[in-house]
Structure 1
Amino acid sequence: MHKTIFVNLPVADLDASKKFFGALGYRFDERFSDENAAALVLGETMVAMLLKRDFYQSFVPGRQVIDAHKVSGAILCLDVDSREIVDALVGKAVAAGATFGDTEDHGFMYGSSFYDLDGHGWEMMWMDPAAAEAGPEAFAAQNES
Structure 2
Amino acid sequence: MASKMIFINLPVADLERAKRFYESIGWKVNQDFTDCNAACIVIDDNICLMLLTRDFFTTFSERPLGDSAGTVNGLYALSLASAHEVDALTEAAIAAGGTEEVNADKRAQEAQVGMHGRTFIDPDGHQWEPFHMAYPG
TM-score norm. by structure 1 comes to 0.83
Percent of aligned pairs with the same residue? 38
What CA distance in whole angstroms lies between the structure 1 residues aligned with 2:91 and 2:14?
A: 22
- C-alpha deviation, 1:130, in angstroms: 2.6
The amino acid across from 1:38 in the alignment is A
1:92 aligns to what SS in structure 2?
helix
- C-alpha deviation, 1:102, in angstroms: 2.2
The amino acid across from 2:93 in the alignment is A
What CA distance in whole angstroms lies between the structure 1 residues aligned with 2:67 and 2:123?
A: 11
> Is 2:36 the counterpart of 1:35?
yes
What CA distance in whole angstroms lies between the structure 1 residues aligned with 2:57 and 2:76?
A: 18
1:56-115 Cα distance to aligned partner (Å, 9 max, x none): 011112x21111111211111111111111111111101111111126241511100111
- C-alpha deviation, 1:32, in angstroms: 1.4
Task: Give the counterpart of 2:132 among 117, 126, 131.
Answer: 126
How many residues align? The count is: 129
Alignment of 1:24-103 (within 5 A): 24-61=25-62, 63-102=63-102
The amino acid across from 1:25 in the alignment is G
Structure 1 residue ranges (4+ consecutive) displaced by more than 2 angstroms after TM superposition: none
- Counterpart position of 1:12: 13
Rg comparison, structure with higher value = 1
TM-score norm. by structure 2 comes to 0.88
- C-alpha deviation, 1:20, in angstroms: 0.6
Task: Give the counterpart of 2:119 among 109, 113, 117.
Answer: 113
1:58 aligns to what SS in structure 2?
helix
The amino acid across from 2:74 in the alignment is A
What CA distance in whole angstroms lies between the structure 2 residues aligned with 1:89 and 1:46?
A: 16
Instruction: Select the structure with the greater relative contact order (CA < 8 A; seq sep ≥ 6).
Output: 2
The amino acid across from 1:86 in the alignment is V
What CA distance in whole angstroms lies between the structure 2 residues aligned with 1:126 and 1:102?
A: 16
